[in-house]
Amino acid sequence: MIIMRPAAMADLAQIERLAEASGPMVCTLPVHRRNLLEKVERSLSALQSDVMMPGEESYFFVLEETTTGQLLGTSAIVAQAGYLEPFYAYRNEVIVHSSRALKVHNRIHALMLTHALSDHSQLCSFFITQALRHTHLPQLLSLGRLLFIAQHPERFSQELLAVLPGIADKTGRCPFWEHVGRKFFGIDYNQVEYYNGTRNKTFIAELMPHHPLYVPLLAEEAQAAMGQVHPDAELQFDMLMGDGFEADNFVEIFDAGPIVTARRNTLYSWQQSKVAIVDIGMPEMSDQQGLIINDQLADFRAIVAAIPSVNIPTANSTSLCLKPEQAAALKVEKGSRIHWLPLPEH
């Protein structure tokens, strides 16, 4: 059985292997033992604390195949993207330059460095083993976080964001970086993303251009890359956009990858998820797949499973019948509270 659960200290070696497998693309999953160790520690600490409002907490999850104990993926939530240090993004602004006398009206795009997203909760560190990309498991690992947020809303902000990697080729050449960031940093793209994932942000404040960048002055290939997601991250992007995230307002400062944002109560996962009381049995299953989570913190569990036929249509069902092995995987029993979401078609 495959479950989503919080990371434990014993997972560290496997997490490191997953970080390596994810390559440089996921900068919030760096190949850096100490950094990964701290992520796990902070997550455990957050799950054991009483939290009334989002602050310094972060939560780190893994996807585990329970019979073998093999880890298949990771995902995380940071309660406040810019808690100790600002969260940098480029806002895609439009400045209208217009003269009625000359009958000229130009909409000029400019990238403005902004900290406005610092209070958002951030979804990050998403990686799943290549082979599983065409299953429902990516949804478990990614949207499971959104159900966790819905279950424990006081720990998170009303506003969410996720940074998706932008265009870079296999050699690590990133067109936006080549024509923008490199002029100021003089280092390679992979190097700066690595620093971004492992160091504090002082170097960004010192090196990034703070004045708005007029987009028409950027090289063609840099302009073309703005807001474009890396092909290997399209799965991620599509899942979040499908749930109701918006793109086109903000881009990442190094590779201009899309930063998607959402007010959480507008998301499909927020609006369509339901609370139910657990019953144990062997119900007849429908074709509808669902994402199911328990209401625990340190013992958080989530699975993907077929939804019983009686729960379709999903309105007005106050109980959900689970098979015994499902209840065990979810660490629930009859009468426990769960939260579940019908998954949209892949």
Partner 1 sequence: MMIIRPVQLEDLAAISALAAKTGVGVTSLPSNDERLAARIERVLKTWRDEATQAEQGYLFVLEDTEQNKVVGISAIEVAVGRTEPWYNYRVGTLVHASKELNVYTQMPTLFLSNDHTGYSELCTLFLDPEYRHSKNGQLLSKARFLFMAAFQERFADKLIAEMRGFSDEAGRSPFWESLGRHFFSIDFSEADYLTGIGQKSFIAELMPKHPLYVDFLSPEARESIGQVHPHTAPARAILESEGMKYEGYVDIFDAGPTLEAYVSELRAVKQSRVWPVVIDDQATSTSNTTYLLANDKFRDYRALLAQVSFTDTAICLPSVIAAALAVDAGDTIRAVTLFSEAQFVKASAVKESR
Residue bearing tokens 């590779």: 255
- Could you tell me how many residues of this chain bind partner 1 (CB under 8 A)? 29
Q: Which of 55, 69, 153, 186 binds partner 1 (CB under 8 A)?
A: 186
Q: Which residues pair with 75 in a beta bridge?
A: 61
Asked if residue 195 binds partner 1 (CB under 8 A), the reply is: yes
DSSP 93-114: EEEEEEETTTTEEEEEEEEEEE
Q: Which residues pair with 305 in a beta bridge?
A: 290
Interacting residues of 64 by C-beta distance below 8 A, sequence separation 6+: 2, 3, 4, 5, 70, 71, 72
Q: Which is nearer to partner 1, 17 or 183 (CB)?
A: 183
Q: Which is nearer to partner 1, 21 or 208 (CB)?
A: 208
Q: Which is nearer to partner 1, 5 or 179 (CB)?
A: 179
Piece in contact with partner 1 (CB under 8 A), picked from 75-83, 204-212, 262-270, 323-331: 204-212
Q: Which is nearer to partner 1, 86 or 344 (CB)?
A: 86
C-alpha distance across the termini of the chain, in Å: 20
Asked if residue 241 binds partner 1 (CB under 8 A), the reply is: no
Q: Which of 1, 48, 214, 266 binds partner 1 (CB under 8 A)?
A: 214
CB of 202 to partner 1, least distance (A): 7
Asked if residue 224 binds partner 1 (CB under 8 A), the reply is: no
Task: Tell which positions 286-315 bind partner 1, by CB under 8 A.
Answer: none
Piece in contact with partner 1 (CB under 8 A), picked from 99-107, 119-127, 147-155, 333-341: 99-107
Interacting residues of 207 by C-beta distance below 8 A, sequence separation 6+: 184, 185
Asked if residue 187 binds partner 1 (CB under 8 A), the reply is: yes
State how far the Cα of 109 lies from the Cα of 114, in Å rounded to an integer.
Answer: 15
Integer-rounded Cα Rg, in Å, for the chain is: 21
Q: Which is nearer to partner 1, 115 or 134 (CB)?
A: 115
Q: 33-48 and 12-22 helices cross at what angle (nearest 10)?
A: 120
Asked if residue 203 binds partner 1 (CB under 8 A), the reply is: yes
Asked if residue 94 binds partner 1 (CB under 8 A), the reply is: no
Residue 97 bears catalytic tag:
no
Residue bearing tokens 């708005």: 212
Catalytic-role residue among 120, 179, 230, 339: 230
Other CB atoms within a 10 A radius of the CB of residue 186 amount to 10
Piece in contact with partner 1 (CB under 8 A), picked from 121-129, 158-166, 195-203, 263-271: 195-203
Burial class (CB in 10 A: 0-12, 13-18, 19+), 106: exposed
CA distances, 319 to each of 228, 311, 335, 338 (Å): 42, 8, 9, 9
Q: Which is nearer to partner 1, 207 or 282 (CB)?
A: 207
By annotation, the residues acting in catalysis are: 230
Residues near partner 1, by CB under 8 A: 97-99, 101-102, 104, 106, 108, 110, 183-187, 195, 199, 202-203, 206-209, 211-214, 216-218
